[in-house]
Amino acid sequence: MGVINVTPDSFSDGGVRFDPARAVEDGLRMMSEGADIIDVGGESTRPGADALDAEEELRRVVPVIEPLAAGGAIVSVDTYKAVVAREAVARGASIVNDVSGFLFDPDLPGVAAETGAAVVLMHNRGRSREMYREANYTDVADEVRRELEAAITRARAAGVRREAIIVDPGLGFAKRAEHSYEVLARLDVLRDLDRPILCGPSRKSFLTAAVGTKIPAEREWATAAAIAASVFFGAHIVRVHRVPEMVDVVKVADRIRAAAVDSPSA
């Protein structure tokens, strides 16, 4: 999953794709480089970010979603708003990637069910300005599993098909660095949910706990390690900013994981 942030304040790229034409060009290039899904977001959800109204979010994402979908991309819309999700799916998106796990907008589960879109339910606690106040855990991996199970229950109650659901442990969201590392290391606990797992460690600040202070664009080697670990521990989809390099990381990690499974001593 390649990331296209159509925002002026993206933590990862400083807003270089705020221009829709640049965003579309980069999304099409990501497809040619090996991205299977293009994730388009119009509102920054980094810690401390301000909320954006739905009208402005749509103004940003629709001119990017339409040509990408017309160009053959599987498009995911990164939104927690029902009105944005409905319009994005009508314009060609086929996945709704909700950072709230169906907690922020009570109308979103119904829209997902009605449109038939696939959904990514991400683990989170609290909105961007307050999420770290909620980063209190006794057993973070188990609590993430239980709260994602509750998100699946919310989705199913609204009529979302179980086979349309993907789960995301939400690395960096309402989690301090030590929490994100533990969740990643214990990603296998999410297998009990019997749903595909999406993991998105790319360029996130928790990586600096290991490699020291670096700007997001300088965290690619750290990202590569976290992407490899995601594959080893069971992720089915990885969300990345640099597609060609991470495609190579995934291919090698996949080979190693397959060799371990096929080994007579496994």
Of 108, 69, 110, 121, the residue nearest 90 (C-alpha):
69
The catalytic residue among 204, 219, 251, 255 is: 204
Q: Please list, in sequence order, all residues whose beta carbon lies within 8 angstroms of the beta carbon of residue 110, skipping any fewer than 6 positions away.
A: 82, 158, 159
Our answer to whether residue 204 is catalytic in this structure is yes
Sole residue written with tokens 């739905």: 54
DSSP state of 51: P
d(CA 44, CA 146): 26
Q: How far is CA 131 from CA 72, 127, 173, 180, 184, in A?
A: 36, 6, 7, 14, 19
176-204 in b/e burial notation, b at 16+ Cβ within 10 A?
A: ebebbbbbbebbebbeebebbbbbbbbbb
Q: Which amino acid is at 101?
A: G
Could you tell me where the beta strands, DSSP code E, fall in 94-226? 95-98, 118-122, 165-168, 198-199
Q: Which of 91, 127, 195, 239 is catalytic?
A: 239
- The set of catalytic residues is 204, 239
